[in-house]
């Protein structure tokens, strides 16, 4: 029975990605049960959480390019969560167009040295396909460990999409490219600093969870008028498919409902000269050789 289920999962990834059997969360709801975010990955160095990531099939992780500016390897323990799995890394592929100065094309693919078996606690996330739309106000979730030092304490935060036009007004014209997606409260108080760099920004379409963004950068943490900025996953379907040549991740076209209320930037905004690229207080230039695929709560 286990073998049958395993091959079914591998063969029909597109149909079965984005499933979180233990997630009972609704918009505006309370904290979910254990296993709420079964694609969440923790990357650790010397026992500390360093960067987040998302499981996109049984052997690949999607994360941020800026997490891998310098590579250093160290074995890590599995951790205390009985539902977590530690897996060694085989290769890292950073998007060739990544620009560390502008934060454009901030994504990387991490290949595991062996496949992982799916369960209620470990599942791949669907990826937003080319042509997906994320209108201003679309509700999203960002998950991870944030500035918490212990990897056993995970966080989640719900934030609305801020249109690229408005986001460009806030960060300065030209700062936000078509490869980016903004989300956060303009009043401040919630931000992806409560998630972590490289981690997923997800939306729900029907019963399927879809990854819309990757935690990339921001100005400060939860500051008013500075939403978090994410790599827009839907821009990279072709590149991801060119790197992962077998057992492709599931891509789902996400359509926002209603009409887009985004604005065009007409005022000259101050350009942010030094953005907070590293959301975590732990230096993100150190990379472990083991990933901890974990679940929140």
- How far apart are the C-alpha atoms of 70 and 96, rounded to whole Å? 16
Q: Which of 260, 116, 144, 234 is nearest to 180 (CA)?
A: 234
Q: How much is the CA Rg of the chain, to the nearest whole Å? A: 18
Predicted confidence at residue 153, as pLDDT, reads 53
106, 191, 196, 294: the catalytic one is 106
Predicted confidence at residue 78, as pLDDT, reads 40
- How far apart are the C-alpha atoms of 217 and 219, rounded to whole Å? 7
Who wins on pLDDT, 146 or 101?
101
Q: Is 106 annotated as catalytic? A: yes
48, 66, 280, 294: the catalytic one is 66
Strongest mean pLDDT among 185-194, 238-247, 288-297: 238-247
* Residue 9 in tokens: 């999962």
Q: What is the largest CA-CA distance in the chain?
A: 62
Give the DSSP letter of residue 219: S
- How far apart are the C-alpha atoms of 240 and 243, rounded to whole Å? 5
Q: Is 197 annotated as catalytic? A: yes
Who wins on pLDDT, 167 or 283?
167
Which of these ranges, 28-32, 207-211, 226-230, has the smallest mean pLDDT?
28-32
User: The pTM is what?
Assistant: 0.81
Who wins on pLDDT, 117 or 187?
117
The SS3 call for residue 104 is strand
Helix-strand-coil split of the chain, %, nearest 5 = 15, 30, 60
Give the other-Cβ count within 10 Å of 91's Cβ.
11
**Cβ–Cβ under 8 Å, residues 122 and 291:** no
Alpha-carbon torsion 195, 278, 218, 237, what sign? negative
The SS3 call for residue 195 is coil
Q: Where are the beta strands (DSSP E) in the chain?
A: 40-45, 48-55, 60-63, 85-94, 108-112, 126-128, 139-144, 155-162, 180-183, 200-205, 208-217, 228-232, 251-252, 290-293
84, 197, 216, 280: the catalytic one is 197
Q: Which of 217, 221, 121, 219 is nearest to 170 (CA)?
A: 219
Q: For the domain bounded by 37-257+264-293, which CATH number is listed?
A: 2.40.10.10
Residue 32 predicted with pLDDT over 60: no
With cut-offs at 50, 70 and 90, classify the pLDDT of residue 273. Answer: very low
The SS3 call for residue 93 is strand
């Amino acid at each position: 029975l286990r073998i049958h289920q395993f091959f079914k999962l591998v063969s029909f990834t597109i149909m079965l990605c984005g499933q979180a059997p233990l997630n009972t969360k609704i918009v505006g709801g309370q904290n979910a049960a254990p296993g709420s975010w079964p694609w969440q990955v923790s990357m650790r160095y010397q026992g500390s959480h360093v960067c987040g990531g998302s499981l996109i099939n049984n052997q690949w992780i999607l994360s941020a390019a800026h997490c891998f500016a310098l590579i250093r390897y160290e074995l890590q323990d599995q951790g205390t969560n009985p539902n977590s799995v530690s897996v060694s890394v085989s290769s890292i592929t950073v998007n060739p167009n990544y620009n560390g100065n502008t934060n454009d094309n901030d994504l990387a693919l991490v290949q595991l040295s062996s496949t992982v078996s799916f369960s209620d606690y470990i599942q791949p996330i669907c990826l937003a396909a080319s042509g997906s739309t994320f209108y201003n106000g679309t509700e999203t979730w960002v998950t991870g460990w944030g500035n918490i030092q212990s990897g056993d304490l995970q966080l989640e935060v719900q934030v609305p999409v801020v249109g690229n036009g408005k986001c460009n007004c806030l960060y300065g014209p030209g700062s936000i490219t078509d490869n980016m997606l903004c989300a956060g409260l303009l009043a401040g108080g919630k931000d992806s600093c409560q998630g972590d760099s490289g981690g997923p920004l997800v939306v729900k379409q029907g019963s399927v969870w879809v990854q819309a963004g990757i935690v990339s950068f921001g100005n400060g943490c939860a500051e008013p008028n500075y939403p978090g900025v994410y790599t827009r996953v839907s821009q990279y379907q072709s590149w991801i498919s060119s790197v992962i040549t077998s057992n492709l991740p599931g891509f789902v076209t996400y359509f926002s409902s209603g009409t887009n209320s985004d604005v065009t930037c007409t005022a000259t905004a101050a350009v942010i000269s030094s953005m907070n690229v590293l959301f975590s207080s732990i230096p993100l230039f150190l990379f472990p050789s083991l990933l901890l695929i974990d679940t929140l709560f």
